[in-house]
Chains A and B, each alone.
Chain A
């Protein structure tokens, strides 16, 4: 079956530091890959997505590249801000097997200190 493994947290960084959160996946079909973000007290919202190999998703300074050869979708940001403090979830959706369903990683809590 499908699975997502993401870097364990929590992660604590100083403002303007470089961020990487690792994510690897296992899927039987051709999944779309996602990063969702959950700010304190809120539900999840889409941060970025990529739908095929070598696609790069980007939003709000965050980037992730769909690497089929390493089955990875690592999240990066060059300079984090205090407002980036949140929980980040890597996820995949494989429409060839379970239309609409997504498989989520366990989430990584990021805290950015001023």
Chain B
């Protein structure tokens, strides 16, 4: 059974803290994604990675960075957390190749920045 795990389900941080959100997949997928989900705004893509050490900006990368040192792990970093980054963060992965296009999601991390 395919699995995407995220390091925390709930996280509370203070303004200005550096925050790390970790995502691990066990499906040997090439592509990994970070989204944030806010009421009324749907899913917004922050960053994605199509290979180890490769990354591309999504629609809302400001205030975030990412790291992909190993194929199975994709980290989202909030360099200096702010209250407007309070949100649900979802990680997803998908393999490469024709017809392989279903995204597999982790359970989400609900981050609160105080």
Contact = CB atoms under 8 A, between A and B. Distances in A.
B25 to A, nearest CB: 12
A104 B101 contact: no
B60 interface: no
Interface of A: 32, 34, 36, 41-46, 49, 51, 89, 91, 93, 95, 99-102, 104-107
Interface residues of B, number: 26
A91 B50 CA distance: 19
A43 B109 CA distance: 9
B74 to A, nearest CB: 13
Contacts of A105: 42
Interface stretch (B13-21, B62-70, B79-87, B92-100): B92-100
Interface of B: 4, 30-31, 33, 40-43, 45, 48, 50, 90, 92, 94-96, 98-99, 101-108
Contacts of A104: 42-43
9 contacts: A46-B104, A51-B99, A89-B43, A91-B103, A93-B101, A95-B98, A100-B94, A102-B103, A105-B42
Contacts of B101: 32, 93, 95, 100, 102
Nearest to B105: A43
Contacts of A34: 102
Contacts of A42: 107-108
A43 B42 contact: no
A99 B45 CA distance: 15
B18 to A, nearest CB: 24
Contact of A43 (B41, B48, B90, B96): B90
Contacts of B43: 44, 89, 104, 107
B62 to A, nearest CB: 19
A51 to B, nearest CB: 7
